Amino acid sequence: MKLTLEFGGGAEFLVGNVKKHAIDLPDTQQWTLGQLLEWIKANKLQERPELFLQGSSVRPGILVLVNDTDWELLGELSYQLKDNDDVVFISTLHGG
């Protein structure tokens, strides 16, 4: 299953300062957003995972969008990912 991950708002520094990642998850299972976060922790996060994750979810202050839709509308961690979904993580932990 092909997905595009995008990081912004400073979150990109935690994944090697790369904003856009094209990834291919194995089709051996149904992937939820919760499982994707675990995959990101294991495969993409290069430093300070506590600034991105808190427990099994994202840290407060990280906005998550799937195809430009707030994950809150989609069931958050339990949302089942689909092929070619675009998942965006934007950190709001900085000032204005």
Partner 1 sequence: CDPDLTEEETAVLTSRLSRQQQHQQQSSLLSGCEKCCQKDNCPVTRVRSAQAVCRQCFLAYCTHQFRAGFGKSQLIRAGERVLVGFSGGNGACALLRLVKQGLAESTHRKLRFTPVFVYIDFATVFNDNGDGPLSGRRAAVLEQFDAHLPVEFERHCLTAAELLPGLSEALAAMTDGTGYRELLHRSVHRCLALASRQFNCSRVLTGETASRLAELTLRSVAQGRLSADSGAFSAIAAGGVCQVRPLRQLTSAETALLSWLAADGLMPVCPRPADPDSPLLNDGQGGGSIPGVIASFLGGLQQSFPATVYNILRTGEKLQSDSVAAGSSSSDSAAAAATPCPACGLSMQQQPSGDDGGNVRSNCNALRALRLSENLARSGDSPEPSTAAAGLWAKEGGRYCYSCSVLLNGCSKRAVLEECLIDADGAD
Residues that bind partner 1 (CB under 8 A): 8-11, 13-14, 47-48, 51, 59-61, 63, 65-70, 72-75, 82, 85-86, 88, 90-96
Q: Which residue number, 24 or 72, has a Cβ lying nearer to partner 1? A: 72
DSSP string over 27-75: TTS--BHHHHHHHHHHHT--S-GGGTEETTEEPTTEEEEETTEEGGGTT
Min separation Cβ 33 and partner 1, Å: 13
Structure tokens at 29: 């299972």
Would strands 85-91 and 2-8 be described as parallel, antiparallel, or unpaired? parallel
Min separation Cβ 17 and partner 1, Å: 8
Min separation Cβ 94 and partner 1, Å: 5
